[in-house]
Amino acid sequence: MSQTSAALDRIQPSATLAMTSRVLELKRAGVDVIGLSAGEPDFDTPDFVKEAAIEAIRKGQTKYTNVDGTAELKDAIANKFKRDNGLDYAANQISVNVGGKHTLFNALVASVNPGDEVIVPAPYWVSYPDIVNFAGGTPVFIKASAEQNYKITAAQLEAAISPKTKWLILNSPSNPSGAAYTRAELEALADVLRRYPHVLVMADDMYEHIVYDDFEFTTIAQVAPDLYDRTLTVNGCSKAYSMTGWRIGFAGGPAWLIKAMAKLQSQSTSNPCSIAQAAATAALNGDQSFLADRNVSFKKRRDLVVGMLNQIDGLNCPTPEGAFYVYPDVSGLIGKKTPAGLLIENDAVLIDYFLDQARVAAVHGAAFGLEPAFRVSYATSEAILTEACTRIQKACADLR
């Protein structure tokens, strides 16, 4: 008989973290495996950010802070939202949390009741539906295929909304697809949302600064100011500033929701790490020019991976507008057999074949709610990516 809670039984372990653990185990065993499963930039945290953390330690800034963020960091976040997004948030409208995942968790657990529905476009980041399930809500999925560049349409959104809808989650640029909504596409979605004032909007903008080809990033509260009072604009330091381990996420939104999130946080983690908050303050206030330089490198990697994967018969890899992932559709590979006679009946079998045969780790599409596909993170060197894609090409060529 299970001794765990009903809430815990409603969720599954993260598929991306599970694959990362498998890669680490293989590497410890001396296996030559290339890991493309972790959503983590290979660039180091900028030196000026690290120095700010060291200085905070020297100054003794090692004590408790306000539950949901220091005044200095909230000021930096407010300035960031104004500078980058044209959004005005007061201190009581800003929440600082232990990473972006924690921000999402706090917001959903603090607002979702049993029976509430949360619209989740698919492919989705693996944690969205599990957090909704943990909170007692019901995820409602809208599937956006490769043919529509993994972005939902206004008509799909309208069809998914019901009287029970509590939230719409919008992740742009997307994890896992890298697809990003244009201003016009967000305006079309906003036109639908205006007809349903009971629906809150969660804009997960974690990859805001990682965009390519002159793509202009916008967030929905910026495009549709009349939705400001029911939008939570979520961001963080993990991806753009290569601060995944520092665990700082943040959001701007309605004061009632920010207060509720702080109440929940006061009984769970208390404040985020004081040293990490000092580092995040420096990151947001400091010189942002390095972001463009890193995007040049990311774009080269994206083009390399998209080009090599699209050389594979049976695979279709759209070119993403942002983030550092590609999400190739592998419909043309399903039904084939490996040299050992194993049937590739779904993308999970294909990913296991890549790991066993090619020694390349990716994450299967079923984990992201849209299959058959898989996610590749290209947040590593061009040399490693070239070798990985060459191995995948050979493994696919061996299928019959």
Tens digit of pLDDT at every position of the chain (400 positions): 568 999 999 998 888 778 888 888 888 999 899 999 888 999 999 999 999 999 999 999 999 999 999 999 999 999 999 999 999 999 999 999 999 999 999 999 999 999 999 999 999 999 999 999 999 999 999 999 999 999 999 999 999 999 999 999 999 999 999 999 999 999 999 999 999 999 999 999 999 999 999 999 999 999 999 999 999 999 999 999 999 999 999 999 999 999 999 999 999 999 999 999 999 999 999 999 999 999 999 999 999 999 999 999 999 999 999 999 999 999 999 999 999 999 999 999 999 999 999 999 999 999 999 999 999 999 999 999 999 999 999 999 999 9
pTM reported for the whole predicted model: 0.95
Dihedral sign of CA atoms 21, 26, 30, 36 in order: negative
Per the CB < 8 A criterion, the answer to whether 250 and 109 are in contact is no
pLDDT of residue 1: 58
Place of tokens 């194993």: 342
* pLDDT confidence of residue 312: 98
CB atoms within 10 A of CB 338: 18
Q: Is 69 left (phi over 0), alpha (psi -120 to 50) or beta?
A: left
Q: Tokens standing for 74?
A: 């909230």
Return the pLDDT at 53.
Answer: 98
Please report the pLDDT score of residue 2 as a whole number.
66
Structure tokens given for 339: 């040299």
What span, in angstroms and rounded, lies between the C-alpha atoms of 308 and 317?
Answer: 9
Residue 38's pLDDT is 85
pLDDT of 19: 83
Helical ranges in the chain per DSSP H: 6-9, 15-28, 47-58, 71-85, 100-111, 127-135, 154-160, 183-193, 220-223, 255-266, 274-285, 290-309, 347-353, 382-397
Beta pairing partners, 373: 329
CA torsion 5→10→15→17, rounded to 10°? -30
CA–CA dist 254, 175 (Å, integer): 25
- Among candidates 338, 344, 343, which has minimal Cα distance to 395? 338
Q: Which of 233, 219, 226, 215 is nearest to 302 (CA)?
A: 215
Extended beta strands in 102-248, E state:
117-122, 138-143, 165-171, 200-204, 231-236
Burial class (CB in 10 A: 0-12, 13-18, 19+), 169: buried
Angle at 370 (CA atoms; ends 160, 182), nearest 5 degrees: 65
pLDDT of res. 326 = 98
Q: Is the peptide bond before 123 cis (omega within 30 degrees of 0)?
A: yes
| Number of separate helices (H) and strands (E) present in the chain | 14, 12
Amino acid at 163: P
The β-bridge partners of 121 are: 142
